[in-house]
Amino acid sequence: MIHAANIIIKGRVQGVFFRAYTRDEAKRLNLKGWVKNLTDGSVEALFTGDKGSINQMIHWCHQGSPNSCVSDVTVIWLDKCMDTNDFSIQY
């Protein structure tokens, strides 16, 4: 079964390669979806795939990239999501 979660990550998460590290970790976990910067300085991501892998990704988001400083992670599990073919950085 395919699961999906929408995540908002707050803290020092822009300008520290957070999106690139997120993409790499999501691909390592065989997740699909996207990650993007938001205008308020936070980062948003959509992860689709195996629930266990998504939970691992959520755990990773609490740590983030080497130079990030995550202060909050909000997780919204979704009932439905659009099918994605890969994991990408949105601009």
Q: In whole angstroms, give the CA distance from residue 36 to residue 43.
A: 6
Given the residues 6, 19, 28, 30, the one annotated as active site: 19
Q: In whole angstroms, give the CA distance from residue 75 to residue 31.
A: 16
Establish whether 37 is a catalytic residue. Answer: yes
Given the residues 23, 37, 67, 85, the one annotated as active site: 37
Pairing relation of β-strands 43-49 and 3-12?
antiparallel
Establish whether 6 is a catalytic residue. Answer: no
Residues labelled as active-site residues: 19, 37
